[in-house]
A and B are shown apart, each in its own frame.
Chain A
Amino acid sequence: MKQTFYERIGESVHRETLPNGLQICIVPKPDYAKKYAFFATRYGGMDTRFQLGGVWRDTPAGIAHYLEHKMFDTKEGNALQKLAQNGAEPNAFTSNSMTGYYFDSTSHFEENLEILLSFVSIPYFTEESVAKEQGIIGQEIRMIEDNPDWQLYTRMLRALYQVNTSRTSIAGTIESISHITAETLCDCHRAFYTPSNMILTVVGSVDPVHVVDLARRILPREGGPVISRDYGDEPSAIAKPETKLSMEVSMPQFLLGFKCRPVDNGEDYLRTSLLGDMACDLLLGESSPLYQRLYSQGLIDSSFGGDYEIMPGAAHLFAGGDSKDPHAVAAEIQKEVERVAAQGLDPDFYEQVRRALYGSYLRALNSFENIAVSLTEGYFHGYDPLRFPQLFDSISSQDILDFLHENVSADRAVLSQIVPGD
């Protein structure tokens, strides 16, 4: 087992790869009462088309998320109940490119970990139990359909991308999930829930050797083949510049999205995501001249913010919030991009924002979930997220200008809006 120390941030990580290909990361956290385990597969809402046994398979939208719900069923009943008796409340989520199962507990940790590893690796579905889930997930879909933030974001992705599977809703639709059967779920489990496609991260005061032994004992001996996935051959042009939906909301909400260049795996992935975060803060973060001007003019409020996101075969920078005049704000953001491109960045302001962002990366290490999710993403995309202090040292304001130049342009911008109904 290899241990790496990260002196500048006061952390260390033990890493081990089992013969079956499972990656294990253990982050010691003495002084904390709770222990946290996160078990994830590189399989998410975007992985609907993939190759299994030499044949390309198209699966219904929402299947990874459906599978996540059904994994909690066990031969004895439900894994939730077993964990609950030990005071652990497990949960799970499906993102566009991963599914993660987790719990935290202050006692019986190893017993709980054993339950987690078992229920995630041993499927137990019947046609009846799969059919019953339609009602629950159907209500989850209805709930998010009534959520304006979700509508705004999903519709922005559909405007940005013509074919990339980020267009697919992670939970699917009531129609798409009606095609999911126990057999398809089994196939997807067999393809993606192999140890070589997964990573286990434990954060807390545990014995690393015990964790590794336990994983070795519980999980299958063999890994699985690498599964090819098809995210669509996305052209660089956007799908459509504007999208608008009327809902029961109090005032208009908007997101302005810029289609950026896809990013390769490796350390460049972390570096680009850091540059994207910095670019957002410099352009439109709370300290930026643009934010202050628009806020004083009453065009934005504290809901305003931006982010940069990388997905398989896709990347975008976006910003938005509530506004009485989304078009005016979108135009101001575009103008600010042009102004920065023409005038460059003020060195003091650049340094100030860099410092603040460093603080927020450090603050994120207070959260066990954050640590586990970023180690998982790092593993799936070939970088070490805890090397961020070194990357902060290596970037310059010219890198930000280059990033903006390559990624943010008016002809690849889309405006998504939700407006109040009559």
Chain B
Amino acid sequence: MNIRTKLAEGIYLTCLPAQKFKTSLLSAQFIVPLRRETASATALLPSVLRRGTVTCPDMGLLSARLDKLYGARIDATIRKKTEAQCVGFVASFIDDRFAPGGKKLLEPVANLLGELICDPATERGRFVPAYFENEKVNLVNAIRSLINDKRGYADSRLLQEMCAGEPYGVPRLGTVETAEAIQPQKLYAHYGKTVASSRLELFYCGSAEQSRLKHALLSAFSTLPRESMADVPVSDFHIPASEPRYFTESLDVTQGKLGMGFSCASEDHIALMMGNTLFGGSSNSKLFLNVREKLSLCYYASSVYHRQKGMITVSSGIEFDDYQRASDEILAQLAAVQNGNIEDWELEAARSSLLNAYASMGDSQSRMENFYLGQIVTGREETPEDLAAQVRNVSLDRILRAMKTVQLDTVYFLQGKEAAQE
């Protein structure tokens, strides 16, 4: 069975039938290139749209409508997937089998989703000025507040420095400057262009029959303008630095944050995925067992593999004075993986960890939605089962060959203000 089908021009539907959940999930996502100039405007769209539609022009009416649908939720979402922004809404509502009084919820929720996207509340040919101003301030505040979560802040700063000049270095919500510069007319024009020319990916997981689902969605999106469809952007590999680059920043914090970025020249994705799991991708990884358990240098030290960019990044929280020890140890553990200093149980644990994640994917609607969206954005068609089969077959030799291409690229350190003054 092909789970993804073309519903209409530029509209695709990924449908995963399931009877076991209490709720159904319905998601509508536009795929937009991530660019410095437009990132903030694109990020602003779902929250302005979420303020009101022609038939429910304010938040009170909208939330009353959702409450009456047994607390259906429609959340505005903005995700950075490689070098694309995915913006739209994710709806979750009680599955028909559990709705008291046999009420059908799919059709009314799909309709509301369609209205939010196609029929926003407007005044004189643009978004309602109060909604625009409100949400613009909220966006600026949200960008500024990234600093409140120091781990997330440090992770994002590492990517900005490492990928300066590449779209991947653009933060998910853009920057304070680009957000503050958004004009009402321009945003409305940007909205028109985005909905008319970006691909719309719909995702459904629940108990409804395919034909009923398609009918509901075609009707909900019947007025969506479809003009010349822009291609989904392809993201390029990170351009490695010739020499490692070092960045330090000082804030009023009690714990230091160490971020290390590596470039990977290999395109053997599965081998790198396994290599990363061995290195820092699980609680049995080299980083966890050595930097944390053996040397007690930190509470967390973990790594992430950025498949489409050919990158691995490490994130850790340490004492300011342990900077050198921690970075030496992280590099030593990478070398251990590259030199094949890996015990059998470590290899099997890494493999089992990935296999367990793929096997249990179907137990979570939101994980499936996120997984398939990631696949679609990168033009991949493997299912979790396909990836599991590849993981089963990848040899240690392949893993080592791929991991030998991993090189230190960028180091970011967030330290305290006192440390900076010494």
Flag if A33 contacts B134 (CB, 8 Å).
Answer: no
Chain B min CB distance to A257 (Å): 20
Interface string of A347-365 (1 = CB under 8 A from B): 0000011011111101101
Binds A, one of B3-11, B160-168, B293-301: B293-301
Please pick, from B22, B67, B296, B299, the residue contacting A356 in the complex, using a CB distance under 8 A.
Answer: B67
Q: Mark B54-95, 1 if CB is under 8 A from A, else 0.
A: 000011100110111111100000000000000000001110
Cβ-based interface call for B275 (8 A): no
* B44 shortest CB reach to chain A, Å: 13
Whether, in the assembled complex, B255 has its beta carbon less than 8 Å from a beta carbon of chain A, the answer is yes
Partner of A362 from B98, B141, B254, B295 at Cβ < 8 Å: B98
Cα distance, A139 to B326, chains bound together (Å) = 13
Q: Which of the residues B68, B137, B145, B297 comes within 8 Å of A298, measured between beta carbons?
A: B137
* Chain B hits for A248, CB < 8 A: 147-148, 150, 251-253
**With contacts A81-B349, A146-B255 known, is A355 near B70, CB below 8 A?**
yes
B72 touches A250 (CB 8 A): no
Set of chain B residues within 8 Å of A145, measured between Cβ atoms = 254-255
Question: Which residues 139-161 in B have Cβ within 8 Å of A in the complex?
Answer: 141-142, 144-151
A81 touches B284 (CB 8 A): yes
CA distance A368 to B363 in the complex (A): 10
Contact residues in B for A137 (Cβ distance below 8 Å): 299
B299 engages A136 (CB within 8 Å): yes
The yes or no answer to A228 lying at the interface (CB within 8 A) is no
| In the assembled complex, B382 has its CB within 8 A of some CB on chain A | no
A130 to chain B, nearest CB (A): 12
Q: What is the 8 Å Cβ interface bit string for chain B, positions 7-34, against chain A (1 contact, 0 not)?
A: 0000000000011111100000000000
Which chain B positions have C-beta within 8 A of A89? 282-283, 353, 356
Q: Which B residues touch A132, using CB under 8 A?
A: 296
What's the least CB distance linking A245 to chain B, in Å?
Answer: 12
B364 and chain A: residue at smallest CB distance: A366
Shortest distance between the CB of B126 and any CB in chain A (Å): 18
Known: A104-B360, A106-B359. A86 touches B352 (CB 8 A): yes
Q: Any chain B CB within 8 A of the CB of A78?
A: yes
Binds B, one of A158-166, A262-270, A285-293, A307-315: A285-293
A287-B63 in contact (CB<8A) = yes
| Residue contact A292 to B64, C-beta cutoff 8 Å | no
Interface residues of B in 167-221 (CB under 8 A from A): none
Asked if B245 is at the interface of the complex by the 8 Å CB criterion, the answer is: no
B24 → chain A, closest Cβ, in Å?
A: 11
Q: Is the CB of B71 within 8 A of A355?
A: yes
Which residues of B have CB within 8 Å of A80? 283-284
Q: A137-B299, A366-B23, A421-B252 are in contact. Are A295 and B59 (CB under 8 A)?
A: yes
Q: Does residue A340 face the partner (Cβ distance < 8 Å to B)?
A: no
A390 to chain B, nearest CB (A): 13
CA distance A101 to B71 in the complex (A): 32
B1 located at the interface, meaning its Cβ lies under 8 Å from any Cβ of chain A in the complex: no
Interface of chain A residues 128 through 150 with chain B (CB within 8 A): 132-137, 139-140, 142-143, 145-148
Size category of the A interface is: 35 or more
* Cβ–Cβ contact A356 & B71, under 8 A: yes
Residues in A whose Cβ lies below 8 Å from that of B68: 352, 355
Residues of A within 8 A of B141 (CB): 250-251, 301, 322
- Residues of A with C-beta under 8 A to B410: none
Which residues in window 29-44 of A have CB below 8 A to B? 29-34
Contact A84 B66 (CB under 8 A): no
CA of A29 to CA of B298 in the docked complex: distance in angstroms?
Answer: 38
Cβ 8 A contact of A352, one of B67, B100, B130: B67
User: Quick check: is A343 within 8 A (CB to CB) of the other chain?
Assistant: no
Answer yes or no: B96 CB below 8 A from chain A CBs.
Answer: no
Q: Does A182 contact B (CB under 8 A)?
A: no
Q: Return A275 CB to nearest CB of chain B, in Å.
A: 17
B317 touches A143 (CB 8 A): yes
| Complex Cα–Cα for A143 and B363 (A) | 32
Chain B contacts of A287 at CB under 8 A? 60, 63-64, 66-67
Kindly state whether residue A87 has any CB partner on chain B within 8 Å. Answer: yes
For A10, the chain B residues whose CB sits under 8 A away are: 22, 97-98
- A46 contact set on B, CB distance < 8 A: none
Q: Which residue of A lies closest to B133 (CB)?
A: A298
Residue A105 CB within 8 A of the other chain: yes
Complex Cα–Cα for A365 and B20 (A): 11
- Name the interface residues of A81-100: CB closer than 8 Å to any CB of B: 81, 84-89, 91
Q: Which residues of A contact B300 (CB under 8 A)?
A: 143
Q: How far is the CA of A291 from the CA of B292 in the complex (A)?
A: 44
Q: Who on chain A is nearest to B366 by CB?
A: A366
Q: How far is the CB of A214 from chain B (nearest CB, A)?
A: 21
Across the interface, do B67 and A353 meet the contact criterion of CB distance under 8 Å? Answer: yes
Which residues of chain B are near A253, meaning CB under 8 Å? 148
A-B contact pairs, 22 of them (CB 8 A): A32-B363, A80-B283, A85-B348, A85-B352, A88-B352, A105-B356, A106-B355, A136-B293, A136-B296, A136-B298, A139-B318, A148-B148, A248-B147, A248-B251, A251-B145, A298-B134, A353-B67, A355-B67, A355-B71, A357-B71, A358-B70, A366-B21
| Interface contacts beyond A145-B254, A146-B255: sample of 11 additional A-B pairs, CB < 8 Å, sorted by A | A31-B18, A85-B348, A106-B360, A107-B356, A135-B295, A136-B296, A139-B299, A143-B300, A352-B68, A353-B67, A363-B71
